[in-house]
Structure 1
Amino acid sequence: MNSTPPASAGIYVRVSTANQIDKDSLHTQEERLRAYCVANQIPVFKLYKDAGFSAKDTNRPALKDLLRDAESGLITSVFVTKLDRITRSTKDLMYLTEFFEGISIRFASISENIDTTSAHGRLLRQIIGVLSQFERELVAERVSVDMSHRARLGKWNGGVVPFGYTTQELYSKHLIDLGTESPDASLQSASLYPEQKKLYVYQSEAKVVNNIFQVFISHNSIRKTAHALNNQGFRTRNGGHWGTVSVHRILTNPTYIGKTWYGKRRSDPVTGKLIAQDKQDWIICDGQHPSIIDVDTYESVQVMLKSISTKPTNSKRNYLLSGILKCGLCGGAMAGNTTSKKNSDKTYGYYKCVNRMQKGLEACSGLNIPSVEIEKYVADSLLALSENKEFLTDKQKILDLFFTQNSNSKINACDLSQIESNIQLLQNRLDNLLGALECNRIDGDDFDRRYAVLKKEIDEAKAARDHLVGLINEKDTTKTFLLTSFENLCSFATNWEFLDDVGKALRLKSIVREVRVTSQFVDIDVFIDVGEVFHTGRDSWRKPA
């Protein structure tokens, strides 16, 4: 394989339309860039040419090729005649300069004396960054002011439509889901709910909202409210079971007393992360939509919610299988739960089905699995497997089979080389066609027809190339992942006894994809296909306290 030159340039040229060659033609751009590279003794690796593409965004075939080759290390410099040849967008210019800087690619506009390796170029880069940041913050500020103004006028600011309400758009989608044709659905929805972006009471859901408030007042428990709703057959808008989070969201939403609100969270101008705001800083105003719950009921519920004491966890127990242990009955997650007996400081750890805890018997009959027992069983199973001679033999068979099946990588490389040659040939024909147009050897209609055919052939060839590259990369990734997974499993016992709970949890999660458990079996699914591991008969497990 030929080594890449110490310094090699990608030169990029572009004109805006296929039928109109502007004064800064493709040929002129190329000549100037090649002359610049010769003068600076920089070999040209490849010419990247986008003919008939606007610079309004980066969705251009030759530019994509350039970025891919830059990321692959095939070029060390990128040159354009002017910045507007590669982009006319400040945002895209920021992205491109950051991209090139991140992979140590020199980027320069030769006619504007802008070079990211020079002090002047770096200064310009910083100025562009500051201006771009200012633009983003200014836009965010304008949007915030507009939405704040809408909230003060009592208008809904959009987002997820609260349960119990509907909008013209949401009801139209509902009708379409029921089989109504889109035009008819739009007309029916507009007749029932004439104003767009306004909340209207949806009676079937509003009855459920009323029921949620009444059930909570009766039980004084969010969890019991969710269980009661599910037992009574009530379902969410998507047909799912009610959980504690969705019930709490409804109980605390001022929309249901006819209020609009804004400012619950604000975006940090630097990081973009949403930051929760104090409730006293929210904008809450009378809305233009009707209420579902009366104010007295809503306020009573808020007082009850504050009175519910949420006991902080007193457990220092780390649950090693958190995130990978699943209930074998419903498929939901199982969460660590610490309990203690009365008049005793001793605590007991259990994994409990989250669906059972949050949604009740309607969602799952539930499981209570002692944490120490299941964690020990999983760890012992992996320790035994890492020392099992039959497994080690299977390991070598799996690796040998994989390498045998993928021994045709040379054929893939040969196919890829042929496709690349074909793309270059088609690109040369396209360049000749553009040259003929510039020299007026063909008319516009003939150019359009031949250009469309060539573009289609090039796009198809590039799609085939990308598909083949994906297959090759996938095989390489699979090989690396398979070797790493085997190594992690075979070395599982190394220093296991010296690891703390955090280290043990990390090691387990590097090997185990998922553990499914019922009272009859444990199914351990590791990241490599070495067969399932089952265990039956858990009579020896300590029963829940």
Structure 2
Amino acid sequence: MNFGIYCRKSYFVDTSESTQMQLSMCKNHIEQRFPEVSSLAFYEDDGYVRSDMDRPGMNQLKEDIAAGLIDCVVIYKIDRVCSDMMDFCTFYSYLKEHEIKFITVQDGIDTTTPLGEAMMYLAVIFSGLEVRTDSLRITDNMNHLAASGFWCGGRAPVGYDITTIDLGSKSHKTLIFNQEEIDYKNNLIDIFLENSFSLQSMETYCKNNRITSLKGNFLSTTQLYNIFTSPHCVQDTPAMYDYFEAKGCMIDENSPREKWDGQHGIIVYGRTMEKRVNGKKRHSLAPPEKWRVSIGFHKPYMTDQRFFSIMAQFGHNTFSKVAKYDLPLLKGVLRCKCGRTMSMSRKQKADGSVSTWYYCPKRMRAGAEACDMRQIKADLLDGKVLDVFKEIQHNPATVKKYLKDGKRPARDSSAAVRAQMETCQEKIGKLTAALAVNNESAAAKYIIGEIEKLDIEYNTLKSKLLNFAAEERRAAAQMKSAMEKREAIIRLLDNFDSFTANERNEIAKNVLKECTWDGETLFIML
């Protein structure tokens, strides 16, 4: 059986178990219960929180499972995988899909047996119940605080600081003015409105005039939008009540329209939500019908008319997003040397034709000091990739040139380790025979000590041999995947004109694992 041990430690939890301790416990568990071990692979994520499932070690484990290199996954505790019920169900479903056994050492769950699998389902049910109960309790408490006008947690909006107020036996959080931030925000809004800017134009203006965020960093369109649209600083006027009501928001019953007198700010709870993007949790704007709106305990610093002017300005800059031209081959695949995915632009020539260029959005938005990559014609880089594809089509051996170098051992490494293991066994055999003859002599304790040293050396060599076997299996699976991609490349080249531009782009995305342009050389990995 081929085992994969997964270990994780959060960087901010000093009391969490170290990955080396987890590895040792898992190895001992395997050795005690499974005498036949074909290979043993170790996957580590040291410094990754459990709420983030996009981790290098976890991703590599999934890749090896998909490649058929792992038969059983062993972890120290179930919380080493994740803390979210949905994440765990997704992970376990992935294991079930590939018929992978699952063992947790500390929790005593072993899906290699029917009883262990039943215990897994019970653990999942009770874990989900606990998570849902806690979530409901916390949500109810936050809703109550928001309805009372208090700040419910998180970073203070621009223009405010968070302070604690005592109300009898309880203390709560509310917002107080930060005049420096208020002046900063008002200056940005004045520029935005006076010049009738779009968000993109505003971002460019800030870059050219060295206007940065409060932390001194580059101001993006997303940051500007969040600053401009934050409703917490706006007066609680009847017009704002009508605005939220028209959007379908849940307005608290203790904040009826007649109480919106313009003397307080506004609390909007539930305005953002967690959304999964490429396996990671990201905060995004929730639908307005999910917002809970109430009169705030804090004071406002923006009139409702100024807020409506900002909203109206956004409405002036709408455009159609329907594509007018075909996608280039590397759209969404090509990366700049700085790590950003390169965008594309169109330029109309004198004869009316249009040329397509790849450019680095980081340079475009933050300037040449952030990235010195110049734009380049899409046809040139697309042609380079097609040349590589043709090379792979005509000579299968060239596939190896475009595979990521793994930790493949030299071919004679396994043989050398096996020879060392045989030598250890021979020495142990001779010492055991000597011990049988001299078991009552003074030399017996020295013989036993030497046998124990050789046993440790033998187990170390055995682990090394198992790692070699895992690496060889991984390399074989990588080559198999590369040859499957070669078949897709051949289909693309043989039927190039029959595919649409979108279909050619999709094939390139599936075939190319990495595609990076450094200004001179195009680096490609399958």
Of the three residues 267, 282, 285, the one matched with 2:291 is 282
Answering whether residue 209 of structure 2 is matched by residue 212 of structure 1, we say no
Q: Deviations over 1:116-156 (max 9, x none)?
A: 748xx988876665554333322222221112122222333
Equivalent residue number for residue 516 of structure 1: 517
The alignment partner of 1:254 has SS state of coil
Answering whether residue 379 of structure 2 is matched by residue 352 of structure 1, we say no
Aligned-partner Cα distance in 1 for 2:515–2:266: 44
Equivalent residue number for residue 527 of structure 1: 525
Contact 1:336 1:351 in 2 (8 A): yes
Equivalent residue number for residue 445 of structure 1: none
CA pair 366-216 structure 1, distance change in 2 beyond 3 A: farther
Residue type at the aligned position of 2:225: H
Answering whether residue 207 of structure 2 is matched by residue 230 of structure 1, we say yes
CA pair 115-317 structure 1, distance change in 2 beyond 3 A: closer
CA pair 124-240 structure 1, distance change in 2 beyond 3 A: closer
The alignment partner of 1:350 has SS state of strand
Of the three residues 139, 147, 155, the one matched with 2:142 is 147
Q: Deviations over 1:203-248 (max 9, x none)?
A: 5544432222112112331111112222222223554311112111
Aligned-partner Cα distance in 1 for 2:145–2:456: 47
The alignment partner of 1:248 has SS state of helix
Aligned-partner Cα distance in 2 for 1:331–1:275: 23
Of the three residues 247, 267, 272, the one matched with 1:260 is 267
TM-superposed CA distance for 1:69, in Å, is: 8.4
Answering whether residue 344 of structure 2 is matched by residue 322 of structure 1, we say no
Residue type at the aligned position of 2:211: F
TM-superposed CA distance for 1:474, in Å, is: 4.5
Answering whether residue 302 of structure 2 is matched by residue 302 of structure 1, we say no
The alignment partner of 2:517 has SS state of strand
TM-superposed CA distance for 1:497, in Å, is: 3.7
The alignment partner of 1:301 has SS state of helix
Contact 1:416 1:468 in 2 (8 A): no
Contact 2:207 2:365 in 1 (8 A): no
Residue type at the aligned position of 1:505: N
CA pair 162-475 structure 1, distance change in 2 beyond 3 A: farther
Equivalent residue number for residue 221 of structure 2: 244
Answering whether residue 406 of structure 2 is matched by residue 409 of structure 1, we say no
Q: Deviations over 1:279-327 (max 9, x none)?
A: 1441133434554544432221012112321322233623321233244
Of the three residues 360, 373, 385, the one matched with 1:378 is 385
CA pair 208-217 structure 1, distance change in 2 beyond 3 A: same
Residue type at the aligned position of 2:342: M
TM-superposed CA distance for 1:97, in Å, is: 9.9
Residue type at the aligned position of 2:493: W
Aligned-partner Cα distance in 1 for 2:121–2:407: 50
Aligned-partner Cα distance in 1 for 2:215–2:423: 51
Answering whether residue 493 of structure 2 is matched by residue 496 of structure 1, we say yes
Aligned-partner Cα distance in 1 for 2:417–2:195: 67
Q: How does 1:332-347 map to 2 (within 5 A)?
A: 332-338=340-346
Q: How does 1:35-54 map to 2 (within 5 A)?
A: none
TM-superposed CA distance for 1:252, in Å, is: 1.4
CA pair 202-71 structure 1, distance change in 2 beyond 3 A: farther
Residue type at the aligned position of 1:240: N
Answering whether residue 478 of structure 2 is matched by residue 481 of structure 1, we say yes
- Unmatched runs of 5 consecutive residues or more in structure 2: 3-16, 39-70, 73-84, 105-110, 165-170, 235-264, 426-454
Q: Deviations over 1:351-376 (max 9, x none)?
A: 33323554567756875544344322
* Equivalenced residues, count: 380
Identical pairs, percent? 17
TM-superposed CA distance for 1:165, in Å, is: 4.6
Q: Deviations over 1:363-420 (max 9, x none)?
A: 568755443443223312442476589x859969x99x99783421244467789999
Contact 1:412 1:472 in 2 (8 A): no
CA pair 273-404 structure 1, distance change in 2 beyond 3 A: closer
Residue type at the aligned position of 1:259: I
Aligned-partner Cα distance in 1 for 2:457–2:158: 47
RMSD, aligned CA: 5.8
CA pair 266-229 structure 1, distance change in 2 beyond 3 A: closer
Contact 1:325 1:517 in 2 (8 A): no
Contact 2:346 2:357 in 1 (8 A): yes
Equivalent residue number for residue 505 of structure 1: 505
Q: Deviations over 1:21-59 (max 9, x none)?
A: xxxxxxxxxxxxxxxxxxxxxxxxxxxxxxxxx9xxx97
Contact 1:208 1:234 in 2 (8 A): no
Equivalent residue number for residue 423 of structure 1: none
CA pair 404-375 structure 1, distance change in 2 beyond 3 A: same
The alignment partner of 2:267 has SS state of strand
Contact 1:513 1:527 in 2 (8 A): yes
Equivalent residue number for residue 440 of structure 2: none
The alignment partner of 1:284 has SS state of strand
Contact 1:164 1:205 in 2 (8 A): yes
CA pair 275-199 structure 1, distance change in 2 beyond 3 A: closer
Aligned-partner Cα distance in 1 for 2:318–2:307: 19
Q: Which has the higher contact order (CA 8 A, sep 6+)?
A: 2
With the length of structure 1 as denominator, give the TM-score of the two structures. Answer: 0.52
Aligned-partner Cα distance in 1 for 2:189–2:471: 53
Q: How does 1:54-453 map to 2 (within 5 A)?
A: 62=25, 65-66=28-29, 103=100, 117=114, 130-165=125-160, 199=175, 201-220=177-196, 221-257=198-234, 258-265=265-272, 277-291=286-300, 293-315=302-324, 317-327=326-336, 332-338=340-346, 348-359=355-366, 367-384=374-391, 387=394, 405-412=410-417
Between 66-75 and 214-223, the greater mean CA deviation after superposition: 66-75
Aligned-partner Cα distance in 2 for 1:327–1:115: 46
- Unmatched runs of 5 consecutive residues or more in structure 1: 5-53, 78-90, 108-113, 170-194, 421-457, 529-545
CA pair 408-201 structure 1, distance change in 2 beyond 3 A: farther
Contact 1:514 1:525 in 2 (8 A): yes
Contact 1:167 1:196 in 2 (8 A): no
TM-superposed CA distance for 1:485, in Å, is: 4.6
Aligned-partner Cα distance in 2 for 1:224–1:331: 24
Aligned-partner Cα distance in 2 for 1:115–1:487: 32
